Amino acid sequence: MSSKLTRRDFLRKTGTTAAITSAIATTAGAQMLQPGHRGDTRVELVPSNCEMCFWRCGILAEVKDGKVLKIQGNPNHPLTQGKLCARGNAGTALLNDPDRLKYPLIRTGARGEGKFRKASWDEALDLLATRLNDIKKKYGPEAVAYFPHGVSSGFFGTVMKAFGTPNSAEPAFAQCRGARDVGYQLTFGRPVNSPEPIDLEEAKVIVLIGSHIGENVFTSQVTAFAEGLKRGAKLIVVDPRFSTAASKADWWMPIRPGSDIALMLAWMNVLIAEEGYDAEYLEKYALGLKELSEYVKPFTPEWAEPLTDLSASMIRETALAMAAARPAVAIHPGRHVSWYGDDTQRARAMAILTALLGAYGRKGGMFLPTKLKSGRIPLPPMPESDKGRADGGGSKFPLASEESQGLTQELVEATLTGQPYPIKAWIVFGQNVLESIPQRQKTLKAIEQLEFMAVIDVLPVEQSDYADLVLPECTYLERYDPPAIVTTAKRPFVAVRQAACEPMYESKPGWWIAKQAAKHLGLEGYFPWQDPDDHLRRLIAPLGIRESELKSLGAVSFAGRPYIEDRTEDDGPLFPTQSGKIELVSSVLKDLKFDPLPVYVPQDSPPEGFARLIYGRAPMHSFARSENNKWLADLMPENQVWIGPAFAAKGGVREGQKVVLQNQDGIRSAPIYARVTEAIRNDCAYMVHGFGANAPKLREAHRKGASDTPLISRVKVDPIMGGTGMRVNFVRVLPAEEA
């Protein structure tokens, strides 16, 4: 990289090309720097990990006189090896964001009005404890619901459990990855987890079904993807939009949205009919091949063609390409998979295909996690609620289990209805409830009914104006968080997050807020550790490393056993399902009276004049988390809506025109620019999620572009695990001046 390249140039380059390799860049200048120097200036390098998204890449913060000057990638990090994306480089713009929450605030105006007065931490925490205890006395501890997001929110999660509420929900489950993890757990006995253990660099065929890697950037995953392609992997991309990944594909399959299960059943049909499956592997490890074979017999490529809008010949050709490459076929299980309400079954179909190809636990397919023995900090017993969870997890939605991260939308519903019991207070920690939970109108209504709401965040996101109490958390660069103990890497590792500088203003780390809140609630016994060093020491003690060593390296990795042939007895059962085998036919689903094999159910088509609303990511943003970041907003200040030419013509809309989207329930979006392009089917409208913040205190992001969340006024709920299928809304497009 030229020494004349400015940071701005670098970021512009990484962000705007969105190409696979340029979305990732070894941190600007990192190779040229002598450790400990920045030009002539002596700097301290503090290893930590990034939180501009939740991939947690290894960083080195360059610190001088207590100030973070710059962030570079940590070459010691086993997964990300010194690479950061544009967002990772832009972390200092979050640190120095003038809009940050600076001190505790107590509401003085009406909910949503945005009027607050400054409070001391002592007063704020007293108020928190008093209001929570009042609610506990009146309604029981279960009347407090917790909405966390991010690793630092775990500390306050302990406060909530100790307080006695079982009600906690993150969008990561019902609005994102839950169905995928349940589908793979049912099939292989373990969830996919994050980072996804996909062997992209060793694959001979990579299959992406709605995964837009390259626009969805996680550094190590994009690097592995690019490496796989460089080594000659064939690429199959199933996507109604010509994504960045589709532009690299050998086969782009512009599928009719909602018909993925039909495509996968047809692929299974070909693999079985043409004996393209791994018979030896299935004989040894799987149950149910005979039943599956009978089941998929009618689902020929010709059957699937009119359902998917994909030619039978392409369906057959791609299935045979997978068969020829097996077991080195990496079928990416996806990440945000809450699409149509049949999402657990779609994940099951992906898992079954992976199994047919003998690709689970094999090189070039999906690799196996390697356990690490981390420490536990003994706590007093947690109180048990005799009322159970209000979100229906484990009962109404049987596979939203104890370990799952809860069902946000069901807690909203319980707040609105008072059923199964009243919910009267919300604690929202780092979760953007108005952008991440669908049916925003309902969420707002629920908030208005609350007796108490506290928001803990770094930035004044929209919901903070509705809170009774706002507590400023400091950024990831200013705090310790529990270490990342990552088992789903070929070499498992532990990586530290430590403060590179003191918290600015009166903001505080999540651990401190939780520990102090516990003290005010008389629950300090649940925080028996002294400080972050003590906490870290106890957690990593069984790994045989010292906390000083981890803190100076940033990350330490261990030998992994990623493939079946590497496994030892210590790793436990290969397939920890109910039967101890891969379950092509799910015994758990059968017992629960759900379909034990995936069933294709046609989805509604858009009404005349409407297109299906779909959404995704951009490489330089992490949804609404980053839109107020000046450097990233400079790269992409607002979103556009992609629409096909025929659909645009129906709405009388031209390329580059400002338009408004109106959904099937008459709800309208904010104005947004139209991108009229052949690169999307005419029955779809696509936008990047997270823009259109209605938060005046976020001065960079306020009212830039449009949010898709208000348009998602309908959902289809997955009956197995309670995920909210959100690709079931339709929009028409109107010129903004006519709207």
Residues within the interface to ligand SF4 (CB under 6 A): 50, 52-53, 55-57, 84-85, 87-88, 217-219
What tokens were used for 87? 């967002």
Q: Provide the 3-class DSSP secondary structure of residue 152.
A: coil
- Classify residue 503 by burial, with Cβ atoms within 10 Å: 0-12, 13-18, 19+: middle
Question: DSSP states of 704-730 as a string?
Answer: -S--SGGG----EE-TTT--EE----E
Cis preceding linkage at 104, omega within 30: no
Determine the Cα–Cα distance for residues 520 and 460; give it in Å rounded to an integer.
Answer: 25
- Please report which helix (H) or strand (E) contains residue 343, including its range: helix 343-356
CB of 88 to ligand SF4, least distance (A): 2
Residue 54 or residue 303: which is nearer to ligand SF4 going by CB? 54
Minimum distance between the CB of residue 618 and ligand SF4, rounded to whole angstroms? 12
> 223 Cβ partners below 8 Å, 6+ apart?
24, 80, 83
Count of residues making up the chain: 739
Residue 554: CB minimum distance to ligand SF4, A: 13
**Closer CB to ligand SF4, residue 217 or residue 500?**
217
Give whole-number Cα distances, 211 to 64, 82, 523, in Å: 40, 25, 44
With CB atoms as reference, the residue minimizing the distance to ligand SF4 is 88
What distance lies between CA 472 and its chain's CA centroid? 23
Smallest gap from residue 436 Cβ to ligand SF4 (A):
17
How far is the C-alpha of 172 from the C-alpha of 175, rounded, in Å?
6
Contacts for 652-658: CB closer than 8 Å, 24+ residues apart: 652/735, 653/733, 653/734, 653/735, 657/735, 657/736, 658/735, 658/736, 658/737
For residues 48 and 27, the answer to whether their CB atoms sit within 8 Å is no
Closest CB 395 distance from ligand SF4, rounded Å: 36
Q: What is the DSSP string of 615-644?
A: EE--TT--GGGSTT-HHHHHH--S-EEEE-
**Measured from the CB of residue 87, what is the shortest distance to ligand SF4 in angstroms?**
4
CB of 108 to ligand SF4, least distance (A): 36
CA distances from 558 to 322, 361, 373, 483 (A): 32, 19, 11, 15
Nearer of residues 218 and 480 to ligand SF4, judged by Cβ: 218
Decide whether 244 or 318 has the Cβ nearer to ligand SF4. Answer: 244
Burial 284-299 (b: 16+ CB within 10 A, else e): ebbbbbeebbebbeeb
Q: What is the phi/psi pair of residue 628, to 5°?
A: -90, 0
Least Å distance, CB 85 to ligand SF4, is: 3
Closer residue to ligand SF4 in complex, CB, 336/440: 336
In order, the DSSP letters of 481-504 are EEEEEE-SSSS-EEEEE--SSPPS
DSSP string, 524-572: GGG----SHHHHHHHHHGGGT--HHHHHHHSEEE-----SGGG--GGG-
How many distinct helices (H) and strands (E) make up the chain? 23, 30
Tell me the three state secondary structure of residue 327: coil
Place of tokens 């203003």: 505
What's the min distance (Å) between Cβ of 639 and ligand SF4?
18
Q: 213 vs 110, 244, 514, 658, CA distance in Å? A: 43, 8, 36, 28
* Exposure on the CB side of residue 145, measured as CA atoms within 13 A: 31
Which is closer to ligand SF4, CB of 87 or CB of 508?
87
| Smallest gap from residue 49 Cβ to ligand SF4 (A) | 7
CB of 237 to ligand SF4, least distance (A): 21
Closer Cβ to ligand SF4, 325 or 620, answer by number: 620
- 329 - beta bridge partners? 205
Question: Nearer to ligand SF4 by C-beta: 85 or 687?
Answer: 85
CB 612 within 8 A of CB 606: yes
Q: Tell me how far, at minimum, the Cβ of 83 lies from ligand SF4, in Å.
A: 8
Nearer Cβ to ligand SF4, position 55 or 527?
55
Nearer to ligand SF4, 150 or 722 (CB): 150
- Residue 620 vs 695, nearer CB to ligand SF4: 620
**Pair 618, 655: CB distance under 8 Å:** no
Minimum CB separation of residue 184 from ligand SF4 in Å reads 23
* Minimum CB–partner distance for residue 223 and ligand SF4 (Å): 10
CB of 53 to ligand SF4, least distance (A): 3
Cα 100 from Cα 368, distance rounded (Å): 41
